[in-house]
Amino acid sequence: MSIDKSKKVVFSGIQPSGIPALGNYIGAMMNFKALQDEYDCLYCVVDLHAITVRRDPKTYGDQIRRLFAIYVAAGLDPEKNIIFVQSHVPAHSQLSWILNCYTYVGELGRMTQFKDKSRKHEENVNAGLFNYPVLQAADVLLYGTHLVPVGQDQKQHLELARDIAIRFNKVYGKIFTVPEILIPKVGARIMKLQDPFHKMDKSEVENLNNSIFLLDEPDVIISKLRKAVTDSEAVVRYGEDKPGVSNLLTIYSCLTGTSIPDAEREFEGKNYGFFKNAVGEAAVAVLEPIQNEYKRLMSDRGALDAMMKPGAEKAEGIAKNMLKRVHDAIGFI
C-alpha cells in the first residue's frame, strides 16, 4: 500500500510489553480491523516505547515478533495496511528529538500515565518514561495521520500530540496534520476482572486472573471469566453501581456485536454463572481462530521476519519525506 491522497490516514500502535490483553483487543485492535477497508492504515509495533521498562534482550526480539504475528492473526491484512516495527524506521526517533524542543516540561509532568508509571516503576523513572508522549506525537505526525484509534487511557497523550502539531504549525506553516482521536463508544476502557475499578493491562503481573491474554488457552479464558468479580444483586444489568457486571456486559457486547440493552434482555432472569459462561464462550469464539492463525505464523520465523520488511520500507518512504519537510522548515542544511 502507498498513501492514497483521497483517503484519510490512520495510525496506531501497541507496545510489545507482553501478550496483548482483551482490553487491547477491544479498545484498539478491533477498531484497527474495522478501519482497514476505508482508510490508509499504518499499524505499528511500538518497540521503542516499550523500553521505558527494562526488557530482557534474550526474549525481547520474540516479544516483538509475537505482537506482529498477533496483528496479522487478528485480521490486519499486510497487503492492505502498512504493518511495521517502530525501530525499523529511524525517523520516529529523529522527529521525536525535534518535537522535544516544542514540548514543555510542565505539559509532560501533567500526564497521568507518567505519574502512574513512575509510581509503578519507582526504581526506574527514566527520561524515556517522561518523554514517551513526544515519541507518540512523532509516530502519529510523521504520516500526516488524520485519525488515531486508541483506548480511553491514550486520550491525554494524543491531546498533547495535537497541541504540539498546532504549536509547530504556528511557527513554520502547515507542516503537520492535526490528528483526530478515535475512541470507541463502548469498550474504550476494559477493566480488570478482579478489580473493575482499574483498567485491564497486558503487563499484569500481580494477579493473572485480572487480564485475559489473547493467547490464553480456551479453558483458562473460561475459568478467568467464571472467577470475575460481580456483586450480590444477581441481576445482569449495566450501571455505575455494578462495575464488575457492567465490565462483563461491555466485553460481551463488543465481542458479539450485541448492544448492551439487548444483552441485558438476553440474560434477564439468568444467574451470574450462566452469564459468565456465555461471556467466556463469546471470548473463546473470537480468540481461538486468532490463536490458530498466530501459531501458524509463528511456526515459520523466517517468513514472519520477511513479512515485516515491506511495511518498514513503505513506512520509511513516507516518514523520510515528512522528516525532510520538518528539517527544511526549521532551516537545517
Report how far apart, in Å, the C-alpha atoms of 77 and of each of 67, 83, 182, 330 are: 14, 8, 21, 37
Q: Are the C-beta atoms of residues 126 and 55 closer than 8 Å to each other?
A: no
Measured from the CB of residue 151, what is the shortest distance to ligand AQP in angstroms? 2
Cell numbers describing residue 241: 453501581
Measured from the CB of residue 149, what is the shortest distance to ligand AQP in angstroms? 7
129 forms part of the interface with ligand AQP (CB under 6 A): no
31 forms part of the interface with ligand AQP (CB under 6 A): no
Supply the DSSP symbol for 331. T
Say how far apart CA 264 and CA 89 lie, in whole Å.
Answer: 47
Say how far apart CA 14 and CA 164 lie, in whole Å.
Answer: 21
201 forms part of the interface with ligand AQP (CB under 6 A): yes
Say how far apart CA 306 and CA 301 lie, in whole Å.
Answer: 8
55 forms part of the interface with ligand AQP (CB under 6 A): no
Report which residue type is found at 23. G
CB closer to ligand AQP out of 139 and 201:
201
User: Parallel, antiparallel, or unpaired: how do β-strands 40-45 and 82-85 relate?
Assistant: parallel
133 forms part of the interface with ligand AQP (CB under 6 A): no
Measured from the CB of residue 301, what is the shortest distance to ligand AQP in angstroms? 23
The one segment of 24-32, 34-42, 90-98, 126-134 that binds ligand AQP by CB under 6 A = 24-32
150 forms part of the interface with ligand AQP (CB under 6 A): yes
Q: Pattern of binders to ligand AQP over 155-194, x per CB under 6 A?
A: ---------------------------------xxx----
Rg from Cα positions in the chain? 20
The one segment of 17-25, 165-173, 222-230, 274-282 that binds ligand AQP by CB under 6 A = 17-25
Report which residue type is found at 187. G
Cell numbers describing residue 159: 491531546
DSSP string, 114-136: HHHHHHHTGGG--HHHHHHHHHH
The catalytic site residues sit at 117, 199, 202
Measured from the CB of residue 36, what is the shortest distance to ligand AQP in angstroms? 16
The one segment of 80-88, 125-133, 201-209, 315-323 that binds ligand AQP by CB under 6 A = 201-209
Q: Quick check: helix, strand or coil at residue 166?
A: helix
Say how far apart CA 102 and CA 134 lie, in whole Å.
Answer: 9
How many residues make contact with ligand AQP (CB under 6 A)? 21
Chain position whose Cβ is nearest to ligand AQP: 27
15 forms part of the interface with ligand AQP (CB under 6 A): yes
Which residues contact ligand AQP (rule: CB under 6 A)? Answer: 14-15, 17, 21, 23-24, 26-28, 150-151, 153-154, 188-190, 199-203
